[in-house]
A = this chain, B = another copy of it.
Amino acid sequence: MATDYVTGQTTGDLAAGRQTISPNALIASDRVEGTPVRRSNGEKLGTVERLMIDMVSGTVAYAVMSFGGFLGLGEEYHTVPWSALKYNTALDAYEVNLTDDQLREAPRRTGEGRDPAFDRDWEEHVHRYYNATPYWGI
């Protein structure tokens, strides 16, 4: 049962009181916002800043992550497909395994209030980059 599966995965997180996950695996948007993003080894890469929602379908399409000052870069924003995010209770973070080079090359937003055009070509590029399933179907 999917619900039990997900709830089981988040036991440690619930115990830590960081995320509120209901029996039906609902999570509040403001609990996702601010959650760290880490590599499997625990190294922190950034933080989830916000979610991007497809207004037509009501589907969460992307998480926008900030990667502040990492690799000598300035504040950067990466738009990561929601389907590419895996929550890891041991890390207490979303787990994203990208190398330094992959991070440098990753599709990004350059700053607050400067959204890239989310045209379909760009969206396809982003999903290929993260090997993620498109939220819009194929």
Contact = CB atoms under 8 A, between A and B. Distances in A.
A11 interface: no
Interface string A53-71: 1111111111010000000
Contacts of A59: 57-60
A115 B30 CA distance: 14
A24 B123 contact: yes
Secondary structure of the A contact surface, majority rule: mixed
B82 A58 contact: yes
Contacts of A82: 58
A6 B115 CA distance: 18
11 contacts: A20-B113, A22-B115, A24-B120, A25-B54, A25-B56, A26-B55, A27-B52, A29-B51, A30-B33, A51-B51, A51-B53
Interface of A: 2-3, 6, 20-30, 32-33, 49-62, 64, 82-83, 87, 113, 115, 117-120, 123, 135
